[in-house]
Structure 1
Amino acid sequence: MAKTMGPVRRDFAPWDDPLAEPLIRFEHITKRFGDFTAIDDVSLDIYEREFFALLGPSGCGKTTLMRMLAGFEAPTEGRILLDGEDISAVPPHKRPVNMMFQSYALFPHMNVADNIAFGLKQDGLPKAEITARVDEMLALVKLEPFTKRKPDQLSGGQRQRVALARSLAKRPKVLLLDEPLGALDKKLREETQFELMDLQEKLGMTFLIVTHDQEEAMTVADRIAVMNLGEFEQIAPPSQIYEEPRSRYVAGFIGDINILEGTVSTHLEGATFSGSDLDDDVAIEGEGLVSGPAALAIRPEKLRIALDEPNDAEGVAKVSGRVWDIGYLGDVSIFHVRLSDEICEGEPSDPNVPVIRATIANTTRLVERPIAWNDKVWLSWDKSAGVVLTQ
């Protein structure tokens, strides 16, 4: 499956400007529930107009962090600043923040217009202003024909749009999105991701999304914070998270990855990686490489697969093995290659032999594969394609 690298906003990188002031600042935030530490001393800056994603598995603390910004939870330690103001003691309804819940939380007895208008009426806005604001939101999310319908008369995608319009109607400084697309089917979810990006760009607002869906975060976010056990593993733009993961955890959580354990050796000519699963030492490159135990991480799409051994070429690494499994996904074919010469008709004699996953684009209409099960094949890659991990 193709990987998208987020919105193309080449000039937008306030996090690289030492003079830029963040809109949201989490300062040494810790949150405990009894003896359980959900958030463990984290700090984070989010900037105005940024689309920021908190990404991680269930229970990693991402929703807890968002709920503290919304005011539904209070930090055990630390401060939360919004536009330079400490909002730790400000109640949720007085914060310039609005939250769109995963369940949408629409009122079933109200029609679309009344659902959107609810928060505005609670704030006591004049009737004419409420009507104008509701009309503006209906046009924004393209729901003008459905204004009189009740939630149970709408599709899942339409209910999602109503919830989004209601969240935006009060014009908050920050919109919080808690797994907003989880209830949508795959195709609609992908379409809505790009609509969210366009909407955020048009409104010039700051969006903070919580998700466990890696592709969703990669598509919509300017930056991603990968969370694990209440801490940040890495905070960076999507392309950097994918191409330059800092740890085995990040490499394995974002997309597909092959990880080979071994040893790095540095010398005057460069650096090499050796491992018991490799035929020979392979050339590697990277900044700050030092000799010692490490892992070599390689994305499946960066591998080449062939029946014939590739010619020795400077900067190219190669390993051999036998095809263990093949998957045809239409746009790509996936090859699972065991780093062994054993021909397996059933289960392999040594189940501990590593399996390398290679993804090859199907660039022609022919589906007959020149490479079949149990064929001996060679995998090769450029030395710049591998990432050395020490964590």
Structure 2
Amino acid sequence: MPSLGSIRRSFAPWEDPGAKPYISFQNVTKRFGTFTAVEDLSLDVYEREFFSLLGPSGCGKTTLLRMLAGFEEPTEGELYLDGQPLKGVPPHKRPVNMMFQSYALFPHMSVADNIAFGLKQDGMEKAAQDERVEQMLKLVKLEEFARRKPHQLSGGQRQRVALARAVAKRPKLLILDEPLGALDKKLREETQFELMDLQQELGLTFMIVTHDQEEAMTMSDRIAVMDKGVIVQTGTPAEIYEAPNSRYVADFIGSVNILEGRVESTDDGHVVLDGPDGKITGALRGASIDKGTTAWFAIRPEKIEISRTKPEGAVNALEGEVWDIAYLGDMTVLNVRLGSGAVVQAAMLNRLRLVEDPIGYDERVWLSFGAESGIVLDR
């Protein structure tokens, strides 16, 4: 049976009508004076879920987390954790740990003591403390830095200490605000998978804020894309990437080409658009779309084939001229200028080290793609 993107795993409580949300925002609004940071927002997150809030700076992501942690109170609406209302409950009485973007480490304490701080506050025995701290140091690869002070560490190392301290207490809910932003690319990628494994092993619920799309796509069971204090789409990484509900979401997640046209016909879940560079047939997003209206065809670069001659039997084929070429190692990206002046990006996977007669600058080429390769959006 066809699936939208690769199957991550069978865990999907949001598809069960009888499942009870672990976190529930109900018509929550948060204002700071005349500025509305979050507006009439409703969202359910389930136990053991790895949930990401994704959006540009200032869209309200961190404000949501701060309300959940107890550092802000909603102006309107209700917030529940494990069925219990959180209104008026102070931060230290919530089964929640938050890793701050600013790290908030104690400068006079060593790395090991920073990690152990919450364990000491909870009265954990010294032997158990030491064992837990050792586990956390191993997790973030800082065993040799245990006795150092925060000022003796790099920004990325301090971030890893903050992560270890947040996880050490094994909270029911761990909130992370841009947790991996200061790490280098390779360490960030390694830590993403370690976080996923840790979350599964401990059975915790993770709620993370990030503006890094790749990070959200890698780690999340589901993603909520935010804009100006509202959630514009919630779904699995595959749903967000392959079936965006608007040009905003399509454009925000990964690279995408968006071509405008007028709806000429609709049939069996597909739409024919008449655009300045010819007709395009794509999959319909939603139940219906009116003929004669303006719509947009969104397609990812890796779903486009590029060739010197027009492919026989191609459902969609557009002709253009190679304008720019970028060799990225694993793939080569070509920007192709169509007759209308629109530029379409196509990506070719570099499966072989050597390429016979590679396509070069200023060549005339054809871009082809199937009807299911892209999606038609009405907004």
Deviation at 1:296, TM superposition (A): 0.6
My pick for the range that moved more, 157-166 or 102-111, is 157-166
SS of the residue 1:384 aligns to: coil
Amino acid at match of 2:201: K
What amino acid is aligned across from residue 192 of structure 2 in structure 1? Q
Structure 1 range deviating more: 107-116 or 36-45:
107-116
Q: How far off is 1:267 after superposition?
A: 5.2
1:195 paired with 2:194, answer: yes
Instruction: State the distance in 2 between where 1:78 and 1:243 align.
Output: 32
Deviations 1:273-311 (A, max 9, x none): 2333223x2333336343232111011100001111111
**Of 329, 342, 364, which aligns to 1:376?**
364
Q: More deviation in 256-265 or 361-370?
A: 361-370
CA distance in 2, matches of 1:119, 1:275: 62
1:302 correspondence with 2:303: yes
Alignment check: 8 A CA contact 2:301 2:346 kept: yes
Identity of aligned pairs, percent? 62
Aligned residue in 2 for 1:359: 347
What does residue range 197-212 of structure 1 map to in structure 2 within 5 Å? Answer: 197-212=196-211
Question: For residues 341-368 of structure 1, what are the alpha-carbon distances to aligned partners after superposition, in whole Å with 9 as ceiling and x for unaligned?
Answer: xxxxxxxxxxx72111101111211256
Q: Which residue of 2 aligns with 1:349?
A: none
* CA drift at 1:206: 0.5
What SS is found at the alignment partner of 1:190?
Answer: helix
Superposition deviation, residue 146 in structure 1: 3.2
- Where does the alignment leave 5 or more consecutive residues of structure 2 unmatched? none
Aligned 1:257-336 pairs, distance under 5 A: 257-266=256-265, 271-279=270-278, 281-286=279-284, 288-290=287-289, 291=291, 292-313=293-314, 316-336=315-335
How is 1:96-115 mapped onto 2 (pairs within 5 angstroms)?
96-115=95-114
Aligned to 1:232: 231
Q: Answer with 13-22 or 185-194: which moved more.
A: 185-194
Quick check: 1:337 aligned with 2:336?
A: yes
Letter in 1 for 2:347: T
Gap change, CA 1:178 and 1:267, over 3 Å in 2: closer
**Structure 1 regions of 5+ residues with no counterpart?**
341-351
Aligned partner of 2:375 in structure 1 is 387
1:142-191 Cα offsets, whole Å, 9 max, x none, are 54443222223444444333212211222211001100111111222112
Distance in 2 (CA, whole Å) between partners of 1:139 and 1:370 is 47
In structure 2, the residue matched to 1:173 is 172
Q: Answer with 39-48 or 147-156: which moved more.
A: 147-156
- The answer for the alignment partner of 1:347 in structure 2 is none
Query: Given the two structures, how large is their TM-score scaled by the length of structure 2?
Result: 0.92
Worse-matched range after superposition: 222-231 or 113-122: 113-122
Query: Which stretch shifts more, 191-200 or 69-78?
Result: 191-200
Contact kept, 8 Å, 1:157 with 1:188, in 2: the verdict is no
Distance 1:56 1:199 in 2: 25
Give me the whole-angstrom Cα distance separating, in 2, the residues matched to 1:139 and 1:228.
Answer: 37
Offset at residue 139 of structure 1 (A) = 4.6
The letter of the residue matching 2:328 is L
Alignment-derived partner of residue 182 in structure 2 = 183
Question: Greater CA deviation, 244-253 or 187-196?
Answer: 187-196
Is the contact between residue 193 and residue 219 of structure 1 (CA under 8 Å) also seen in structure 2? yes
Deviates more, 1:267-276 or 1:171-180: 267-276
Query: Which amino acid letter does the alignment assign opposite residue 52 of structure 1?
Result: F
Residues 172 and 355 of structure 1, relative CA distance in 2, 3 Å threshold: same
Secondary structure of 2:372's aligned partner: helix
Judged with a 3 Å threshold, the aligned counterparts in structure 2 of structure 1 residues 137 and 250 are, in CA distance, closer, same or farther, namely: same
